[in-house]
């Protein structure tokens, strides 16, 4: 490992930890207003959705592709349907991946 | 979703339940870890460097972006600044955990903080939101986190050593595994009007803010979704 790599990884580790840890460290001294605690209930679905939607609708990263040729979109729709019906996480993942893989194979150039 | 009932809340049952709950997300992370290891050396990161990064930074998307920046010979301070922005969402996660970890020892806070990722947070916060009064919920978090962590290390090494055997692994669209995993995690939340609004607004905002640098649009979109959900909740009352 070169010296530059050492500094890079060290700095990335410290920066990441200094985001994740401090609020936990001082949590005893924080009293969150009820409003904030309520708002934080919406955070997990909000963040996850903000990660999912561009990944699925913009598979190339630069444009929205709303077409049957977008295998990620078709796979995502399949997983939403299965997830909604079964409420089973593993089934949701498996069906989504299966539909995506088959679709990609069928329509790949 | 099919979470097994936890009848006995001892540390070991919590630990095992947490490890079990994160299995689907661990599976979803496998292709990512392997692809990271595969791309590391061609991006200019050494074998030891790749292992150290997975072990010490433990942040999938930031690690991938760092590889991309390394490959284009980006200056070190820029990579570090990017890491900061990309990981800033973890600050919101830790804010969500504040009211749940208050009575834990500094050691516990240290390790739970170190292991705070998207996947671990999504699983652990589900446990914290359950109404039972178990005092060992952090063991659930611990079980989920250590499983995710060890898997990430093993997959990095597999990618580093065997990655060249998989042609164009990064072009297979295996990153889609994470998208479907997250879809499965979001669905149980969407059971009332404010949650529907949250999901729609953050999805649309994520598309609109996609071009903001270093994935900072993610935070804008999530915040907009949270606010929209809160406003809907107030109006509905």
Structure confidence by residue, pLDDT tens digits, A37-65: 899 999 999 999 998 999 999 988 788 99
Nearest beta carbon to residue A89 from set B24, B56, B70: B24
CA nearest A64 in B: which residue?
B207
Whether the Cβ atoms of residue A9 and residue B57 lie closer than 8 Å to each other: yes
ipTM of the shown complex: 0.89
Q: Which of A2, A4, A12, A22 to mutate to test the interface with B (most CBs of B within 10 A)?
A: A12
Residue A27 pLDDT grade (very low, low, confident, very high; cuts 50, 70, 90): very high
**Residue B94: which residues within 8 A CB-CB, separation 6 or more?**
A19, A20, A21, A22, A23, A24, B113, B116
Neighbours of B171 (CB within 10 A): 8
Q: For A43, phi and psi rounded to 5 degrees? A: -65, -50
* C-alpha to C-alpha distance for A59 and A75, rounded to whole angstroms: 12
CA nearest B58 in A: which residue?
A13
B168's tokens: 């164009």
A88's tokens: 């089973």
Whether the Cβ atoms of residue B125 and residue B97 lie closer than 8 Å to each other: yes
Does B176 contact A97 at a Cβ distance shorter than 8 Å? yes
Whether the Cβ atoms of residue A80 and residue B182 lie closer than 8 Å to each other: no
Q: Which of B104, B105, B168, B180 to mutate to test the interface with A (most CBs of A within 10 A)?
A: B180
Q: Chain A closest CA to B140's CA: distance in Å?
A: 17
A-B contacts (CB, under 8 Å): 260
> Residue A109 has what pLDDT?
60
Q: What is the distance, to the nearest Å, from the Cα of residue B144 to the centroid of all Cα atoms in its chain?
A: 12
CA nearest B21 in A: which residue?
A89
Tens of pLDDT along chain B (237 residues) come to 444 444 568 999 999 999 999 998 998 888 889 989 988 988 889 999 999 999 999 998 899 889 988 888 888 988 898 899 889 889 999 999 999 999 999 999 999 999 999 999 999 999 999 989 899 999 999 999 999 999 999 999 999 998 878 777 666 777 788 889 889 989 999 999 999 999 999 999 999 998 887 678 888 999 999 999 999 999 987
* C-alpha to C-alpha distance for A47 and B110, rounded to whole angstroms: 24
Residue A23 pLDDT grade (very low, low, confident, very high; cuts 50, 70, 90): very high
Average pLDDT, chain A: 92
């Amino acid at each position: 490992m070169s010296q530059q790599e050492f500094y890079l990884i060290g700095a990335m580790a410290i920066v990441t930890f200094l985001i994740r840890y401090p609020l936990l460290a001082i949590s005893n001294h924080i009293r969150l207003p009820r409003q904030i605690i309520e708002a934080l209930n919406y955070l997990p679905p909000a963040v996850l959705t903000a990660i999912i939607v561009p990944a699925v609708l913009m598979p190339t990263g630069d444009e929205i592709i709303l077409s049957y040729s977008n295998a990620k979109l078709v796979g995502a729709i399949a997983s939403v349907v299965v997830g909604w019906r079964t409420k089973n996480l593993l089934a949701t993942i498996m069906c989504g991946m299966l539909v995506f893989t088959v679709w990609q194979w069928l329509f790949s150039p | 979703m099919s979470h097994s009932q936890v009848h006995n809340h001892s540390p070991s049952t919590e630990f095992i339940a947490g490890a079990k709950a994160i299995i689907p997300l661990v599976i979803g992370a496998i292709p990512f870890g392997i692809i990271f290891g595969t791309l590391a050396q061609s991006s200019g990161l050494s074998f030891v460097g790749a292992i150290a990064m997975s072990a010490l930074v433990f942040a999938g998307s930031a690690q991938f972006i760092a590889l991309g920046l390394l490959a284009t010979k980006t200056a070190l301070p820029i990579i570090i600044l990017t890491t900061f922005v990309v990981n800033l969402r973890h600050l919101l996660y830790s804010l969500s955990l504040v009211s749940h970890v208050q009575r834990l020892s500094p050691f516990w806070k240290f390790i739970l903080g170190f292991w705070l990722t998207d996947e671990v947070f999504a699983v652990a916060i589900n446990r914290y939101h359950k109404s039972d009064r178990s005092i060992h919920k952090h063991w659930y978090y611990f079980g989920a986190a250590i499983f995710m962590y060890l898997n990430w290390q093993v997959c990095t090494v597999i990618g580093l050593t065997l990655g060249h055997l998989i042609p164009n692994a990064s072009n297979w669209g295996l990153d889609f595994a994470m998208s479907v995993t997250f879809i499965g995690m979001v669905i149980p939340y969407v059971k009332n009007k404010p949650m529907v609004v949250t999901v729609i607004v953050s999805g649309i905002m994520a598309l609109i803010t996609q071009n903001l640098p270093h994935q900072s649009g993610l935070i804008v979109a999530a915040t907009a979704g949270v606010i929209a959900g809160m406003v809907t909740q107030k109006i509905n009352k």
